[in-house]
Amino acid sequence: MTLEISIIGENRCRLGESPVWDPELKRLFWTDVLAPAVWSYDPATGRQSAIGAPDVVGSVVLGAPGSLIAGLRRSVSRLDLATGAFSAILTPPGLTESERLNDGKTDRRGRFLAGSLVPTGVHPPPGKLFRFAPGRPPEILVEGVEISNAICFSPTGDRLYFADSLRMAIWTYAYDPETGALGPRETLVDTTPLGSAPDGATVDAEGRIWVALVQAGQIACISPEGRVERRIDLPVPFPSCPAFGGETLSTLYVTAIADSGGRLVSDHPDAGRLMAVDGLGVAGIAETRCSL
C-alpha cells in the first residue's frame, strides 16, 4: 500500500491541535489554540470553516450530537455547532494564575480528561491532569506537570497514556474503565532518542499509539509494549496531534504549529496547515462522546 500525504486546504492555524472525527457529521474538528477558534473540515466538499472561541481553546472532544466539549483556558465549555455559542460547564479546581488547559480526550466511558500547562521555568511545576464526569466534582489525577500532552486510551479503555512533554517520555497507567481508578505510572517510551518531545497522540484499533514528534517533524507508531514500529516524515514542520478519521477511520489527520507563542515558530509556507496521511493500512477507533 502506497503512503500518501496531502496538505488540506489553504487555511493555516497559528497553533493547530486536538483533531477529532465526528462520524455522524462526517467532519473533522480541531482547534487553533492561540488564534482561538474551532475549525472543521468536510472531506466530501473540501470546505473548511471556523467558529471563533471566546478564549484560548486547548482541546475539543465530541459532545452530544451537534455539539463539542471544549477545554478553554480556565473552563470546560459546551460548543453548540448550530449557533456557535460556547457555554461554560465546569471550572477546573486549583488552577494557578499561570496555568491553562491544554490537551484533552474522553475515556471509553465518556469522562473528559484534560491536562494543564504552565510557562517553562515555573518550579515546582503546578500543572495537573483533571478528570470531569457527570454528577461528580472534578478530580485531579496527576500533579507536578509542565506541559500535558499525548492523552489517549487503549481500545478497551484499560490503559491511559499521558505525557509531560518536557519530560521526553510517554507514560502509561492502568485505568479501570468502570470506576476510573488510576494505577501507578510506568514509562512506555523515552522519546529522547527520537529527537523530540511527545505532543498529541491517538491509538489505532490494534492498540498502537500514534504520536506527534513535534520537533522531529514526524509521526511515530509505538506498540503497546513501547516498541517504536514506524516513523513517518511529514512535509510540514511542527506536527502537533494526529487523529484517525474518514468513512473507514483509515485516514490519519495531523494538525501543525506555525507559532506556538514560544519556542516553536516557522516561516515555512505550509506551517500550521492540516495534513492527511493515507495508505497506512490501519484503522482507528471512533472516539467516545463526552457525557458532560
Q: What are the Cα distances from residue 147, in Å, to 68, 76, 78, 95, 101?
A: 23, 18, 24, 14, 10
Residue with cell 495531523: 254
Q: What is the pLDDT of residues 87-100, one digit of tens each?
A: 999 999 999 998 99
Inform me whether the pLDDT recorded for 22 exceeds 80: yes
Global pTM?
0.98
**End-to-end CA, the chain:** 40
Q: Where are the domains of the chain?
A: 4-278
Q: Domain 4-278 belongs to what topology?
A: Neuraminidase (2.120.10)
Provide CB contacts within 8 A for 247, sequence distance 6+. Answer: 26
Q: What's the pLDDT at 86?
A: 98
Residue-by-residue DSSP string for 220-239: EEE-TTS-EEEEEE-SSSSE
Alpha-carbon span 59 to 158, nearest angstrom: 22
Q: What is the pLDDT of residues 126-168, one digit of tens each?
A: 999 999 999 999 999 999 999 999 999 999 999 999 999 999 9
Q: What's the pLDDT at 119?
A: 80
Complete edge-to-edge strand list for the sheet that includes strand 16-22:
16-22, 27-32, 37-42, 47-52
Q: What's the chain's average pLDDT?
A: 97
Q: Are 231 and 205 in contact (CB under 8 A)?
A: no
* Percent of the chain residues topping a pLDDT of 70: 100
